[in-house]
């Protein structure tokens, strides 16, 4: 992944998971590789599985929001970005997604609120 070879990374993470199906880092890294290779439906399926195991993990909800957005499931994406921001209120990235999706839906009040909360937490 760090060398920009996400396709190869997918294969290696799958091999690692075959050897140890419960290995959390391999599974979460696989999600990142799947998103990088635009395999959003597979990423979504894996993310739902991971969230079932660790529902308090905000980054998983954020990644699921992104996968849903790419699958043109904007309402569902917004729900997952909101959940991510509840679990990790200082995650500006999720808040900016909430702002952008709210703005595109015409909800300027929600968009401005999200942008306002995101600004102090931007890294």
Whether 58 maps to a domain, the answer reads: yes
Predicted structure pTM score? 0.91
**Helices 58-70 and 92-104, axial angle in degrees (round to 10):** 30
The CATH number covering residue 58 comes to 1.25.40.10
What is residue 87's predicted lDDT score, i.e. its pLDDT? 97
Give tens-digit pLDDT for 9-57. Answer: 999 999 999 999 999 999 999 999 999 999 999 999 999 999 999 999 9
The count of domains in the chain is 1
Whether 82 maps to a domain, the answer reads: yes
Q: Which of 76, 120, 81 is nearest to 100 (CA)?
A: 81
Whether 48 maps to a domain, the answer reads: yes
Whether 50 maps to a domain, the answer reads: yes
Whether 25 maps to a domain, the answer reads: no
Q: How far apart are CA 13 and CA 109, in angstroms?
A: 42
Whether 106 maps to a domain, the answer reads: yes
Give tens-digit pLDDT for 60-118. Answer: 999 999 999 999 999 999 999 999 999 998 889 999 999 999 999 999 999 999 999 99
Whether 3 maps to a domain, the answer reads: no
Q: How far apart are CA 85 and CA 89, in angstroms?
A: 5
The range of the structural domain enclosing residue 42 comes to 38-121
Handedness of CA 102, 89, 49, 8 (dihedral sign): positive
């Amino acid at each position: 992944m760090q060398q920009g070879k996400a396709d190869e990374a997918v294969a290696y993470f799958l091999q690692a998971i075959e050897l140890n199906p419960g290995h959390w880092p391999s599974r979460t890294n696989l999600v990142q590789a799947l998103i990088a290779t635009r395999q959003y439906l597979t990423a979504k399926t894996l993310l739902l599985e991971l969230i079932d195991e660790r529902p308090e993990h905000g980054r998983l909800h954020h990644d699921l929001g992104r996968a849903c957005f790419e699958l043109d499931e904007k309402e569902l994406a917004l729900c997952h970005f909101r959940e991510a921001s509840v679990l990790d209120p200082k995650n500006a990235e999720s808040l900016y997604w909430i702002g952008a999706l709210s703005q595109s839906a015409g909800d300027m009040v929600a968009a401005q609120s999200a942008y306002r909360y995101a600004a102090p937490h931007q890294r």
